[in-house]
Amino acid sequence: MLEISDLRASYDGVPALRSIDFQVGAGERVAILGPNGAGKTTLLKTISGTVEVDAGTIRFEGRDLHSQPPHKRVEAGIVHVPQGRMIFASMTVTDNLRLGSHRGGAQHRHGERLDLVLEIFPALADMLNRDGGALSGGQQQMLAVARGVMACPRLLMLDEPSMGLAPRAADSVFEGIARLLESETTATIVVEQRAHEALEICERAYVLESGEVVLEASNRALLTDERLAAAYLGSET
């Protein structure tokens, strides 16, 4: 479904991604792990088109994305839920969700998708008329993920869904994501510092360091092999 080959990107001449090879199959769930500054967020941004690439190819469902602007990638079904939630604070939860379903055929499935996201994140059901800015950090993150789901993604990319959240709030967000992945067959990429949580909901993982892929392994290998866990999951082991 998603095929990336020899991808390179930089900021002001400083390399951020170095010869990245990366694949996601249809319906597959893949984690991207690594320390801060490893290039995880940059990789997602190259896929969504908000960071230009210096070299290499990105193909989605057989189509080369090189010349496709971000809005065309959204229309193709690539949905990026970025760091920092990026909800509209002055708009109600309902209106934030409605914006999510603005993409193409998603408009005709608004009611169906709304039922789904309220099943995934039941805490939002009592907050539909509240402004997004009145929600807690955890609730805002639920809203950000839910808005992405409303777009009927073919590829859903979640960038640090636990960032800035208290442990209990982060747990609630991950529980909702797990429910989503149980009920949907959407291909999903999860960038996350809480490596164990990401591996519990993903099938494979890539580990990035200094803009390079240093390991590709199954979730089982990373969760059960003590040497791999010690090397790549750090203090979480």
pLDDT of 233 > 80? The answer is no
User: pTM, whole model, 2 decimals?
Assistant: 0.93
DSSP the chain: -EEEEEEEEEETTEEEEEEEEEEE-TT-EEEEE--TTSSHHHHHHHHHTSS--SEEEEEETTEE-TT--HHHHHHTTEEEE-TT----TTSBHHHHHHHHTTSGGGGGGHHHHHHHHHHH-GGGGGGTTSBGGGS-HHHHHHHHHHHHHHT--SEEEEE-TTTT--HHHHHHHHHHHHHHHHH---EEEEE-S-HHHHHHH-SEEEEEETTEEEEEEEHHHHHH-HHHHHHHTGGG-
The answer to the question of residue 200 being in a domain is yes
pLDDT grade, residue 104 (50/70/90)? low
**Is 40 within a domain?**
yes
Residue 182 lies in a domain: yes
Task: Please state which of the ranges 101-105, 116-120, 150-154, 214-218 shows the lowest mean pLDDT.
Answer: 101-105
Domain that holds residue 165: 2-86+155-236
| 132 found inside a domain | no
pLDDT digits (tens, 9 = 90+) for 27-68: 999 999 999 999 999 999 999 999 999 999 999 999 999 989
147 within some domain: no
Confidence label for 234 from pLDDT (cuts 50, 70 and 90) = low
Q: Is residue 104 in some structural domain?
A: no
Residue 229: predicted pLDDT: 79
Instruction: Decide if 21 is inside a domain.
Output: yes
pLDDT above 90 for 188: yes
Distance separating alpha carbons of residues 108 and 98, to the nearest angstrom: 11
Q: How many domains does one find in the chain?
A: 1
CATH assignment at residue 66: 3.40.50.300
Mean of the per-residue pLDDT values of the chain: 93
Give the per-residue pLDDT at 237. Answer: 40
180 inside domain: yes
What pLDDT is recorded for position 227?
81
